[in-house]
Homo-oligomer: A and B are copies of this chain.
Amino acid sequence: MSERILDFLRRRQTDGPCVVVDLDIVRDNYAAFANALPDTSVYYAIKANPAPEVLNLLHELGSSFDCASVGEIEMVLATGAAASRISYGNTIKKERDIARAYALGVRLFAVDCVEEVEKIARVATGSRVFCRVLCDGIGAEWPLSRKFGCDPAMAPDVLERAHCLGLEAYGVSFHVGSQQANLWAWDLALGMAADVFNEMSRRGIELKMVNMGGGFPTRYLKDVPGVPSYGEAIFHALTKHFGNRLPITIVEPGRGMVGNAGMIEAEVVLISRKSSDDELRWVYLDIGKFHGLAETMDEAIRYPIRTPKDGDETAPCILAGPTCDSVDVMYEKTPYELPVSLSIGDKVLIEACGAYTTTYSTVGFNGFAPLASHVI
């Protein structure tokens, strides 16, 4: 609970829901990654929160950046960071966007198929590419689909093709799944990466880099291991699989860098029941799935919520947003315990909202403004 955020909220003059991000916490998170993984470069996944203040701070701290689009690359360059600190980490890129990124100085690209390699070879001569491999995501709260990455058995062909087309076959990447609390996930994935290194070596091509992706969790309602535990587990797995020939390594924290740095203040718009004998209250907030809380989709992320009545007796309720859309319901399958004394007009604080809230907001669904954001 950031006192700075609470103080800001007490003083603010504006109306409506907003998210407030505390840069001191982002600074602490960056230091935790740098300390836990001293030989690994941190590439902040800017999609988690591209607020200019966050990018400026991380630039000053020496972070590198994982970008999903030319738009994100331009945001990073606006901080003054060199293009050499950028990875164009999206495996799905238009050829003209690759060319634009190359013109801006970017030389590091993600791929997961031969078709993408060919685009890069045509318009980003001599660049480094790393091949993303599929990872099963066991233990992640939000296992990734098969959308990104190829079967590990196919990766050597993709990388060899890059090599033959004059690109530098630079390494391998994986993503263990979002909000990954299982420390063994990195061990399995690094074993797979080492297999690709070995196969490439057999083909006469020496890879150099392993991009270990993101997946570092934020604490929501359940406890999660701290960054130092991840650092130890990763170091142990690296040594186990690569011996004394450790590769260059990268991590791409997004949620892990900013998730716990932000808090949303919202207002209770309505509390009602559907019938005179309804056992559950419906609690409607002035923010929902379409204005910042998209990660409640399928009730995936369960945010901690503080109310002015905390400590009073609680009862389960269904929590919903303010739009005329029936899917704009946050928690229904597993109702949320809130104080019985909670009233219409009360302000609630939703914690751990620094990641995947602002840019997930719609432009104005139902005529409500996008989520306001303050970085302090």
B-binding residues in A (CB < 8 A): 45-47, 50, 67-75, 89-95, 112-116, 119, 134, 142, 144-151, 153-154, 157, 178, 267, 269-276, 278, 282, 284, 286, 290, 297, 320, 322-329, 332, 344-345, 358-370
| Interface SS of chain A | loop
A367: B residues at CB distance < 8 A: 46-47, 50, 67-75
Copies in the complex: 2
Interface contact A112-B286, CB-CB below 8 Å: no
Given contacts A359-B365, A361-B363, A362-B361, whether A274 and B320 have CB atoms under 8 Å apart is: no
Given contacts A92-B270, A273-B113, whether A364 and B368 have CB atoms under 8 Å apart is: no
A91: B residues at CB distance < 8 A: 270
A119: B residues at CB distance < 8 A: 344
Interface contact B359-A364, CB-CB below 8 Å: yes
Interface contact B326-A368, CB-CB below 8 Å: no
A73: B residues at CB distance < 8 A: 367
A93: B residues at CB distance < 8 A: 269-270
Q: Nearest B residue to A15 by beta-carbon distance?
A: B96
Given contacts A71-B369, A145-B329, A275-B154, whether A270 and B115 have CB atoms under 8 Å apart is: yes
Given contacts A116-B272, A154-B275, whether A362 and B364 have CB atoms under 8 Å apart is: no
Interface contact A363-B370, CB-CB below 8 Å: yes
Interface contact B47-A324, CB-CB below 8 Å: yes
Which among A75, A119, A325 has the highest number of chain B CB atoms within 10 Å?
Answer: A325
Give the distance in Å from the alpha carbon of A74 to the alpha carbon of B345 in the complex.
24
Give the distance in Å from the alpha carbon of A257 to the alpha carbon of B72 in the complex.
37
Give the distance in Å from the alpha carbon of A148 to the alpha carbon of B71 in the complex.
39
Q: Nearest B residue to A119 by beta-carbon distance?
A: B344
CB within 8 A of A332: which of B112, B145, B150, B151?
A: B145
Given contacts A72-B366, A364-B359, whether A94 and B148 have CB atoms under 8 Å apart is: no
- Jot down 9 A-B pairs with beta carbons below 8 A, ordered by A: A47-B324, A50-B364, A68-B323, A69-B366, A115-B270, A154-B275, A297-B297, A297-B327, A359-B365
